[in-house]
Structure 1
Amino acid sequence: MNSISRRTFLGVAGAGIAAAGIGVPFVSGIAGASSTGKVLPSRVPLPPPFQRRLTLPPVLLPTRSDATTDYYDVVQSVTRATILPGLTTKLWTYNGSFPGPTIRSERGRTVTVRHTNNLPVPTVVHLHGGRTPQDSDGYPTDYVYPTDMSYYDRHLRHAHAGSGHDMVTGGDTRQGMRTYTFPLQQRAATLWYHDHRMDFTGPSVWQGLAGFHLHHDDEEAALHLPAGDHDLPLMITDRSFDTDGSLLYPSLDPTLVNQHGVHGDYVAGVLGDVMLVNGTPWPIAPVQRSTYRIRLLNACNARRLSLRLDPPPPSAITQIGTDGGLLVEPIHHDHLELAPAQRFDILVDFSHYAPGTEVTLINDYGTAAMGQVMRFVVGGGSPQAFRVPAQLSTIPALRPADAITTRKFDFRAGDVNDHDGWLISQAPFSPDSIAAHVRLGTTEIWQLNADFHHPVHIHLSPFQVLARGSGGPGPFDAGWKDTIDLRPGEQAKILIHFDGYQGTYVFHCHNLEHEDMAMMANFVVS
């Protein structure tokens, strides 16, 4: 929010749902309304775009494997890396890289990941999009404490991280280690993992705790999609930098131990002014005259993206998948809109471009430098196009008639302990409060109402979008989703079939500043 004070913002938000027509934004005149948040300006000159080559995150190999399971080890540690020319940046990393190493898994094989926390504060790991038992889902207070507690104990002034709750389960996490088990009995999909610590997810992810988890199955393999160096996972993030190259973030408590939250208008969301793709600012990527599979992940804390290619490919952008895996059939777009945490799996045919053509990935929701993301440079050689299958997958359509109940949840700004914050149905998050009790194996309709932009993420069970306002799903709502992009003043309905596992899970806004400022709730599957 660039042009109004926080108090004005709250006043508008309080009247939002009542004042808005169904599905009609009521804040379209506000500057920067494509994202709910405020730009945090860097204090160092921004690097020129398209100077450094795109890199892909390293693929993590199993420590060992047996007949049913692949075992991985990840160490969370402080690392220094060169992101801006001539400067080094301190990062919190998985295995020393940002993004963290990519884990590739196959349906039918269990994955276990042992995380060792060598960072100064507790962490929590969530496999976003994973169909995961409760004890490995990354509940926000299932802390993995540091191996060295000296920093944490020295700064700790409250019961725990400002929350007063400590419901650690599964292993002696006080000793800095936890093993997460992922059965991964689910369709092939572009998943990702990131920190999920209660009250501090925003600064932890901002400092680097995020990575890809690419899950595969036989249905996907039968399509013979572009693979190897033609399969490009792209994690798009925005960050801001201080004069010494360190990351800027407006935390109320720079120790990230006690008081959570951010200063002033940044409660609405923190927007960076440097665009990173796989940790590199505005990179350049050479491509052959052939078809590439590109996995787009919006890993920004709060920034929404509207992406297109310039010049556009003659065959448009072909979407083949979304959060929850393959679509039934390809969908052609001239642009894609991604809220934080959403993924789009696309095919781009570079065979029609002349050698030497520079193709820029544009962000129409950004201004100045943030209006560009990266650039592809087309090489020579004979064109080799890929024939996209007309049928990609089979997805059973959930039926509204099968829903046993409809629940309504409002996502809007409000006061949290006399501070500006964000609420779900007038309530801030508490591990002790349950917003919904659902029965395993049943289907429900959830109606979600928004005041401002809220990317709503639901753990455990993917969903299908039933309606936006008085119409049907939007142009980017096809397939199985785990995150829906709610627009200002919008009402949406989704169908969820709760299967997999019993236990306590959360749903929340994936604008990470909203999440940290209490926009999260529990649901129990029994």
Structure 2
Amino acid sequence: MQSALGGREVAVRRHQGIVIASQKLHRDLPPTTLYAYGESQETAVYPGPTLEAKMDVTSRIHWDNHIPDEEHFLPLDRSIHWANPKRGGVPTVVHLHGAETESIHDGHPEAWWTPKGEHGPTYVTQHNSYPNTQRPAMLWYHDHAVGITRLNVVAGLSGLYFLRSPEDKLTKQFPYGEYEIPLVFKDWQFWPNGSINFPNVGDNATIHPTWCPEYFGDTILVNGKVWPYLDLQPRVYRFRLLNGGNARFFNFTLSDPSLRFHKIGTDGGYLDTKPQILSSLLLAPAERLDILVDFSGLKPGDVVFLNNSAPAPFPDGDDSFNPSQILSQPENSKLMEMLQHKHQQGDTSNDSSAPVLRHRQIRLREFDDTHNDPTVSLLENRRWLDAVREFPVEGSVEVWEWINTTPDAHPIHIHLIQFQVLNQQPFNATWYLDGRCNITVDFPKPGTCFTGPPIPPEIYQTGFKDTAVVSPNFVTRYRIHFQTSDGRDFPFDPTLGPGYVFHCHILDHEDNDMMRPFKVVHATKKKSGLREKDNTILTNPLF
């Protein structure tokens, strides 16, 4: 089938509905009521159906909402800004996380809809189009309705989306088929009757009756199963990991010290450098990893546990925040032969020699009540509904500096593009907030807030990313090229529609205003009146 736009091939259209489902998540647990994606009531499941797409072949998906509930089955907090349909119902809108797509198809938070035909202010269509012109990667789709994303995702609204390249299927350099296994991690709490236990009283109920700073479950699910196991053969496996939880970080290790993780890809696809041999894997909410593990040395009956040591909330002062991860040791020759494979697509993407047009500084702030319980976290001290202040120019390169003055690590996600973490630099957040120093003064000059020089990104921050960890008491710098991740112009006009957003992917933070809009502009339009605001700096002595 040929597209009416540009003659590009278009994949067969799919219909995905959102319904109430009942799913048995463990043999000893009664069925759990969920909201789930599926082509029908009978096929709806958590995680949602895994969607497969081909590079340079447009996918068209119609998303629908058939949830009959008058109100969400999880506790709703009306004290924070949310969709708030006048005629009731559960608002939904689908975001294909990591996709490079036009903003009317991006799952804008205010583009929600309900089964009763009520729409949010930026709603345009439920017939979404995904060009799939970016590098091959594992994306994921999830709900993004303003103010209730945390509820809809906890309720089950997420699933995987694989973007494949013909080269992958021709070379078969890495394990595939039954030996390529996606692993979707999620944490839940359950009542004895199988229903989801979600807080119904806020930390400070006088301000937010039910909202809490983070939701942490005491039960881990993988691919919709509670504490599952996997029978393995003595060979190399490829695992595609997603942290699909609301707030929990994972720091994975294997119980057999002879086994290692071989990282070959991340959010944005294959690494452009040689694979990384790791003893642990840090995975923040929304991050993905593509890894190989060689089990060929195991014997029948051997058992290996996948352990998690990340504290909650992260990092909570734990030394495991920056574990020693890179190893150097002899490796199995067959595995090393696989790792010699160099994926060609993306080798020249996001040219690092391109000049930086602009540097931005964005402060992360947390505000507490008199009992030191957080009541809101903000980006640049602004709410979601405040006016747009970021207008990046299409095709330009910018550096965004995230100044984290909070005690928590925040996984910051930017829609539309992939980026790379340049570096991070420690600073004294207390002095900075008190106005006793300045981060525009380089270390070690007098008056600087920095307590050390810039350091390279942590191993878990490397590769092309759409979500990366911004550490407390650090300034973390993203290098962003506002073009496709493989170096081409966007196959659509990114300046049209409601625009895009950036936000913390701890969903409880996102829902309570740790999210901001941005709009891409053409260079000609940029000169005709749209102006940058005061959180933008044109020069910085650090660069």
**1:111 matched to which residue of 2?**
59
Q: 2:15 aligns with which of 70, 73, 97?
A: 73
Q: 2:31 aligns with which of 85, 88, 100?
A: 88
* Aligned partners of 2:113 and 2:123 also within 8 Å: no
**1:410 matched to which residue of 2?**
363
Q: 1:126 aligns with which of 85, 88, 95?
A: 95
Secondary structure at 1:358 match in 2: coil
**What runs of 5+ residues in structure 1 fail to find an aligned partner?**
1-65, 150-159, 161-165, 172-177, 254-258, 368-382
Deviation at 1:509, TM superposition (A): 0.1
The AA in structure 2 aligned to 1:81 is Q
* Aligned partners of 2:423 and 2:457 also within 8 Å: yes
Percent same amino acid at aligned positions?
Answer: 33
* Aligned partners of 1:400 and 1:495 also within 8 Å: no
The AA in structure 2 aligned to 1:522 is P
**1:185 matched to which residue of 2?**
133
Task: Give aligned pairs, total.
Answer: 415
Structure 2: how far apart are the matches of 1:81 and 1:390?
A: 42
Describe the shift of the 1:169–1:484 C-alpha distance in structure 2 as closer, same or farther (beyond 3 A). Answer: same
Matched, 1:303 2:248: yes
Structure 2: how far apart are the matches of 1:204 and 1:87?
A: 21
* Aligned partners of 2:365 and 2:378 also within 8 Å: yes
The AA in structure 1 aligned to 2:411 is P
The AA in structure 2 aligned to 1:75 is G
Structure 1: how far apart are the matches of 2:156 and 2:238?
A: 25
Deviation at 1:252, TM superposition (A): 6.2
Range with greater deviation from structure 2 (390-399 or 287-296): 390-399
Structure 1: how far apart are the matches of 2:106 and 2:208?
A: 24
The AA in structure 1 aligned to 2:239 is I
Matched, 1:239 2:192: no
Describe the shift of the 1:473–1:75 C-alpha distance in structure 2 as closer, same or farther (beyond 3 A). Answer: same
Task: For 1:220-259, list aligned pairs within 5 A.
Answer: 220-221=168-169, 222-251=171-200
Secondary structure at 2:509 match in 1: helix
* Aligned partners of 1:455 and 1:483 also within 8 Å: yes
* Aligned partners of 2:402 and 2:475 also within 8 Å: yes
Q: CA RMSD in A?
A: 2.5
* Aligned partners of 1:330 and 1:391 also within 8 Å: no
The AA in structure 1 aligned to 2:398 is E
**2:460 matched to which residue of 1?**
476
The AA in structure 2 aligned to 1:361 is L
**What runs of 5+ residues in structure 2 fail to find an aligned partner?**
1-7, 39-43, 70-89, 313-331, 426-453, 484-489, 522-543
Q: TM-score, normalised by structure 2?
A: 0.72
**2:147 matched to which residue of 1?**
199
Secondary structure at 2:519 match in 1: strand
Q: 1:170 aligns with which of 124, 128, 132?
A: 124
**2:81 matched to which residue of 1?**
none
Secondary structure at 2:463 match in 1: coil
Deviation at 1:91, TM superposition (A): 0.3
Structure 1: how far apart are the matches of 2:495 and 2:201?
A: 36
Deviation at 1:144, TM superposition (A): 2.3
Deviation at 1:83, TM superposition (A): 1.8
Structure 2: how far apart are the matches of 1:262 and 1:278?
A: 32
Q: Which has the higher contact order (CA 8 A, sep 6+)?
A: 1
**1:502 matched to which residue of 2?**
495
**2:473 matched to which residue of 1?**
489
Deviation at 1:189, TM superposition (A): 0.3
**1:353 matched to which residue of 2?**
298
Q: Which has the higher strand share?
A: 1
Structure 1: how far apart are the matches of 2:177 and 2:93?
A: 31
Structure 2: how far apart are the matches of 1:218 and 1:458?
A: 28
**1:388 matched to which residue of 2?**
338
Describe the shift of the 1:385–1:360 C-alpha distance in structure 2 as closer, same or farther (beyond 3 A). Answer: farther
**2:400 matched to which residue of 1?**
446
**1:514 matched to which residue of 2?**
509
* Aligned partners of 1:240 and 1:272 also within 8 Å: yes
Structure 2: how far apart are the matches of 1:193 and 1:87?
A: 27
Q: 2:231 aligns with which of 280, 286, 289?
A: 286
Structure 2: how far apart are the matches of 1:105 and 1:131?
A: 14
Structure 2: how far apart are the matches of 1:422 and 1:366?
A: 20
Deviation at 1:395, TM superposition (A): 5.0
Q: TM-score, normalised by structure 1?
A: 0.75
